[in-house]
Amino acid sequence: MPELGEKIKALALELTKMPSIVGTSGEAAIAAWLYERLGRLDYFRRYPERLVLLPVRGDRLGRQNVLAVIRGEKCSAPRHLLCLGHIDTVGTDDYGELRDYATDPATLKEKLPAVKFAAETLAELTSPDWLVGRGILDMKTGVAALVAMVEEFSRRPGELTGNLVFLGVPDEEGNSAGMLSAVQDLAALLGEEGGEFIGAIDTDYTTGRYPGDPRRYVYVGTTGKLLPCFYLYGEETHVGEAFNGLDANLLASEVLYQMDLSTDLCDIADGEVALPPVSLSQRDLKAAYSVQTANAVNLYFNYPTHASQPDEVLAKCKAKAVQAFANVIKRLNEEYEKYCALSAIPFRRLPWEVNVLTYEELYRNVRQEVGDELDRVIEELAAKLRAENADEREFSLAIVQEVHNRYADKNSKIIVYFAPPYYPHIYVKDDDAKGRVLLGAVTKAVGDVKARYDYDIVIKKFYPYISDLSYCSIANEQSIARLTGSMPAWGRRYTLPVGAIQAIGMPVVNIGPYGRDAHKLSERVSTRYSFDAMPLILKKTIENLLLDGSGNNNKEEGP
Ligand SMILES: [Zn+2]
């Protein structure tokens, strides 16, 4: 293992031994530790103001981001390269009885074989080529690699044509509070210094895409996600007169059938296919058992994106709702006709009509009917729900219901809206200057490393796991307005620093260690690739972006 790899491995083990579970005091402790460690570098002794702990805005846990800036001394115009990592991990309950050893890689390695694993997993867990522990893959090894880069480039500021900006954030495994606060500090930095962010490098984990996948992946860009919701309002009836009502459960089933895992909703960009939407919750809103049919159901989906903006996703979901509604009406009429024939009674078409609105349309209609009063009612309800600390999904639903309650039109309908969170995708293309430069730097670095190591390294366009990288860029005003107009929680219970994200807007790449089973007790990182090829790809990418005549940097010293 090269010297740089040895150093990263030792640091990764050290970081893993410091528990930093999301939502605990460990997050603050590891930030303080990193601050102290970087503060010992000669560079930050000389320029202590370039290393700061930044409080996470409005954070009840008092967490902090670590920000370190190495100023390039060869800059003609200010340019900044963000090197980003999260310093938190998920919890350790999945370790069960071994919980106390979850952050003690050496002891855990001895104890893990007592747990029943598949033979292949066990072979890796016991092999010296794999390290185990909570967070060692996701993403203490990545943070260790970034710290090693800060140490490396802090010795070479005279060579740098731009600033290297290291950012360590907490709460990535929670609500991204660290990143969403940090983007405002990064925007402020741009305000003071001018220039632009040329790109962001994250070092979060990578893994195989299917069992036995021999390849290693570098991702230029990232997947996003939205949470489209459907409020289905039916017409209740007594079960004794079943055809007199429109069962909201039936409407919900058809919407679920139309949406769930429908590949025609897969978002495809550059031939890379996002997963189709999958339902996360379907719940009828009846408070107790009765012989009335259900008249309201709420249903929502996880919807991954590669290219579609919120307004486009909303339109697709609305079209699916229209289709579902029409199918239900057709089926009900067919069944009713058969029932009438069987019962020898006259058939008359049922009165139902397709009726689908976005929340934005519902709000506009109701406001026309009741005026300013509507906003007052919404704000009052929002204040009450905030005081109760209502879940963001429940908060959204309650507002939709409240607005609908005031609507004169009480016919059956489907209301399509968004609930938090929103993670923008980042699609890096050759057709904009920043994207081209980043793609070029990464492609060259990967090419060089492939020539030295025998790994099948592939560059793909979308980091497949939802991460803080999403907040390095965001859609245009128009698309965001569509999102916020149909997201009742926006500005009341949930918001994103849209202006700051637009200000820093940059393409992203994830160059991460390789391992398996993040978030499981068999979480492990492979010492091969993670401590030899990956650090070299990372270092070369930074050099390609921040050294003069990036292309001619052919120094072949070991990593
Ligand atoms: Zn992660």
Ligand 1 center to 205 CA (angstroms): 6
Residues 284 and 251 occupy one common structural domain: yes
* Sequential pLDDT tens for the chain (559 residues): 889 999 999 999 999 999 999 999 999 999 999 999 999 999 999 999 999 999 999 999 999 999 999 999 998 789 999 999 999 999 999 999 999 999 999 999 999 999 999 999 999 999 999 999 999 999 999 999 999 999 999 999 999 999 999 999 999 999 999 999 999 999 999 999 999 999 999 999 999 999 999 999 999 999 999 999 999 999 888 877 889 899 999 999 999 999 999 999 999 999 999 999 999 999 999 878 877 777 999 999 999 999 999 999 999 999 999 999 999 999 999 999 999 999 999 999 999 999 999 999 999 999 999 999 999 999 999 999 999 999 999 999 999 999 999 999 999 999 999 999 999 999 999 999 999 999 999 999 999 999 999 999 999 999 999 999 999 999 888 889 889 999 999 999 999 999 999 999 999 999 999 999 999 999 999 999 999 999 999 999 999 999 986 543 434 444 4
- Any domain includes 183: yes
Ligand 1 center to 167 CA (angstroms): 14
Residues 55 and 165 occupy one common structural domain: yes
Residues 81 and 57 occupy one common structural domain: yes
pLDDT given for residue 512 in this prediction:
98
The Cα 501–Cα 280 span in angstroms is 28
- Any domain includes 487: no
- Any domain includes 275: yes
Range(s) of the domain holding residue 393: 228-418
Question: Are 435 and 507 a contacting pair, CB within 8 Å?
Answer: yes
Ligand 1 center to 137 CA (angstroms): 8
pLDDT given for residue 462 in this prediction:
97
Work out the end-to-end distance of the chain between its first and last CA atoms, rounded to an integer number of angstroms: 10
Ligand 1 center to 142 CA (angstroms): 9
DSSP secondary structure letters along 360-410: HHHHHHHHHHHTTHHHHHHHHHHHHHHHTT--HHHHHHHHHHHHHHT-S--
Ligand 1 center to 133 CA (angstroms): 14
Domain boundary among 403, 418, 433: 418
Ligand 1 center to 162 CA (angstroms): 27
Ligand 1 center to 180 CA (angstroms): 16
Residues 407 and 427 occupy one common structural domain: no
Residues 284 and 357 occupy one common structural domain: yes
Ligand 1 center to 333 CA (angstroms): 51
Residues 151 and 33 occupy one common structural domain: yes
Domain boundary among 380, 399, 418: 418
pLDDT given for residue 120 in this prediction:
93
Residues 197 and 300 occupy one common structural domain: no
Q: Tell me which residue has tokens 């507002």.
A: 399
The Cα 325–Cα 254 span in angstroms is 8
Ligand 1 center to 202 CA (angstroms): 10
- The total number of structural domains in the chain stands at 2
Ligand 1 center to 301 CA (angstroms): 22
- Any domain includes 492: no
- Any domain includes 558: no
Question: Are 466 and 539 a contacting pair, CB within 8 Å?
Answer: no
pLDDT given for residue 556 in this prediction:
41
- CATH number for position 384: 3.30.70.360
Strands (E), 234-295: 268-269, 272-273, 278-284
- Any domain includes 490: no
pLDDT given for residue 549 in this prediction:
67
Q: Is 538 helix (H, G, I), strand (E, B) or coil?
A: helix
- Any domain includes 75: yes
Residues within 5 A (CB) of ion ligand 1? 138-139, 204
Ligand 1 center to 172 CA (angstroms): 7
Ligand 1 center to 424 CA (angstroms): 17
Strands (E), 448-556: 457-460, 508-510, 515-516, 524-526
CA angle 20, 26, 32 (to 5 degrees): 105
Number of helices (H), then strands (E), in the chain = 17, 20
- CATH number for position 458: 3.40.630.10
Write down the pTM of the prediction: 0.91
Ligand 1 center to 224 CA (angstroms): 15
Element containing residue 142 per DSSP (H, E): helix 141-154
Domain boundary among 418, 450, 483: 418
Ligand 1 center to 288 CA (angstroms): 41
- Any domain includes 80: yes
Ligand 1 center to 146 CA (angstroms): 14
Ligand 1 center to 536 CA (angstroms): 20
Ligand 1 center to 325 CA (angstroms): 40
Compute φ and ψ for 516, nearest 5 degrees: -140, 160
Ligand 1 center to 467 CA (angstroms): 7
Residues 253 and 387 occupy one common structural domain: yes
Residues 196 and 324 occupy one common structural domain: no
Residues 110 and 251 occupy one common structural domain: no
Find, among 370, 450, 428, the residue nearest to 403 by Cα. Answer: 370
Ligand 1 center to 86 CA (angstroms): 7
Ligand 1 center to 139 CA (angstroms): 5
Contacts 24+ apart (CB under 8 A), 103-106: 103/16, 103/17, 103/18, 103/19, 103/133, 103/134, 103/135, 104/17, 104/133, 105/13, 105/16, 105/17, 105/131, 105/132, 105/133, 105/136
Ligand 1 center to 41 CA (angstroms): 27
Ligand 1 center to 45 CA (angstroms): 30
Residues 214 and 250 occupy one common structural domain: no
Ligand 1 center to 140 CA (angstroms): 9
Residues 204 and 244 occupy one common structural domain: no
Ligand 1 center to 203 CA (angstroms): 9
Strands (E), 243-310: 268-269, 272-273, 278-284, 296-305
CA distances from 133 to 111, 140, 211, 381, 433 (A): 11, 10, 22, 45, 40
Find, among 203, 211, 29, the residue nearest to 103 by Cα. Answer: 29
